[in-house]
Structure 1
């Protein structure tokens, strides 16, 4: 019995299944959660998805109405977590990634826990761990679960659509070096299941708001700083600047990749002042320019070598100066 068959057996034996994912929802956390939910339902079992917070507006075309949110309905999430006899931990490798409220519930739960994730250095809290750091996304691993447990025939458009979305967004539209031959094999199986990939691209890309574009234009024209000696670019946005352009969650998600598209750039760092802290997005190109170590050692973060996150409790100006001072240590001229 392979590990995915073990997971299938746990699903069939469970009565109260909860699917969790990390705080600050993204395409992969939403896609893998919904894909797994629909697969479990195809196995004639029930599950509940419990997330820390709401998905960004640009993912609203997906049906996320079934997802219970800790930030909106803490009583119901608490009830579901406490009565669970099986908890899935998707797209995160440490309990603190779900936020303090859900972290307490997760760590207090005595039921079996299954991690399915592709980030480095997973903690050892789960009962079963699938940690494939070479996988493009957690959504790809859900397809592996469906196939390797012997249920590829259950993969259909409903299951495949959020999984395609997860792979698409976590690979930067298939441009990151995390894309391997297996990624395209999985995509082929999803398309064969009836997923209309062109519609997903349209729904994901053609939904900009005027305020989002104006914010991004302001960030690029007024806040972009390029350290040409190291080919590293930084954008900082204060809470006042975000408010001026009626910021909504997800409005700055593409900024780092946009900056990284500047010819010759090795890395892009974007940070925004939200919820009393600076939330930082690190992106880079090539194995010789990792950003996860910088994020981990100085900004309480981490992630993939070329795509990581972090945070700072300093002011905007102090965070900017700290970053500028660290760039020479982590990037060569």
Structure 2
């Protein structure tokens, strides 16, 4: 007998799946716009940037003036995503209008995740939020937020269907990077039969899934290996944390990145190595920025809602993958996170 999958936590009560009226309102806004600005979140991952570029390529096909951007300085596309088509659409933050006609954000759960572009987004005549995070704060003037979608790329695919834009190899490649990234290569609990059907349609459009997988997960610099080795040496296992389910955590000082020439975006996947510890339900990686700020990434296997824990620390995300920012230093931050996961109620399955 197979092991039953953990039940997905229910979405927040104030979140609902998009209605037909929601879809139509967004389609109408796109139809009115002569130019559209598309935003991914800071330190973009495959779902954020893949979704933005896929939609940008589709709008360009329709003759719409389109810009893609994200609010980092410096603005650097992660090496693992350098294969994504459509990067000629990416512009620096300064080239985004002060008051855009129509702006659409992708995979952004909180306006603060827009970084340097937050003020411009909040000044837009129309701001559409396309997202799937249960922790979404509900910003924007129009919203397509589906907390049951495994990736924002799935919502973009539906938008393209409603716009009548067919999948070509370039658009499908961007969408595949999105859904593969946010499902952990289709391993996470949010993956459903419909997710695999979506992936099948993308493969039929010409996606080279093997090449994409190599770039997303199996290609790193030697410097990254040195940073990873040091992070694993620092790793701590706390079996009694998370109600006895276990916590494994580590941190990466800025000095390590500087010493080995590793950009911050390159270590975003480090959490997926740390979370492999069989003795821990919850994993945490703290990454230090030059100013000492700590960015926390957490993962859970199903018995702890890390989105709720991270929300208690001012962050958010998904039940099984969430993050937060801290200015308290490593010991105090780990203590606060430990207290947040210890405060989680025991799951029904326990």
Q: Is the 8 A contact 1:260 1:267 kept in 2?
A: yes
What secondary structure, in the 3-state scheme, does the structure 2 residue paired with 1:252 have? helix
1:146 aligned partner? 160
Whether 1:69 aligns to 2:92 is yes
Would you say the 8 A contact 1:56–1:249 is kept in 2? no
TM-score by length of 2: 0.84
Partner of 2:32: 13
1:43 equivalent in alignment to 2:43: no
Q: CA deviation at 1:258?
A: 1.3
TM-score, scaled relative to structure 1: 0.88
Task: For 2:338 and 2:222, locate their aligned partners in 1 and report how far apart those are by CA, in whole Å.
Answer: 32
- Give the corresponding residue for 1:223: 234
Compute the RMSD of aligned alpha carbons: 2.1
Instruction: State the match for 1:168 in structure 2.
Output: 180
Cα distance in structure 1, aligned partners of 2:337 and 2:27: 45
Residue 213 of structure 2 corresponds to which residue in structure 1? 201
In 1: Cα distance, 2:300 partner to 2:137 partner? 25
Q: Determine the structure 1 residue equivalent to 2:107.
A: 91
The runs of 5 or more residues in structure 1 that have no matched partner are none
Q: Tell me how far apart the structure 2 counterparts of residues 238 and 134 of structure 1 sit (CA, whole Å).
A: 35
Q: Which runs of 5+ in 2 are unaligned?
A: 1-19
After superposing on structure 2, the runs of 4+ consecutive aligned residues of structure 1 that deviate more than 6 Å are none
5 Å-filtered alignment, 1:145-294, equals: 145-151=159-165, 154-220=166-232, 222-229=233-240, 230=244, 231-276=246-291, 277-286=293-302, 288-294=303-309
| Match of residue 325, structure 2, among 308, 311, 322 | 311
Shift of 1:55: 2.5
SS of the equivalent of 1:92 reads coil
Describe the SS at the equivalent of 1:244: helix
Q: Are the aligned partners of 1:17 and 1:48 in contact in 2 as well (CA < 8 Å)?
A: yes
Alignment length (residue pairs)? 319
For the 8 Å contact 2:248–2:277, the answer to whether it is kept is: no
Quick one: distance in 2 between partners of 1:248 and 1:44? Answer: 36
For residues 155 and 3 of structure 1, do their structure 2 counterparts lie closer, same or farther at Cα, with a shift above 3 Å needed?
farther
Aligned-partner Cα distance in 1 for 2:252–2:331: 10
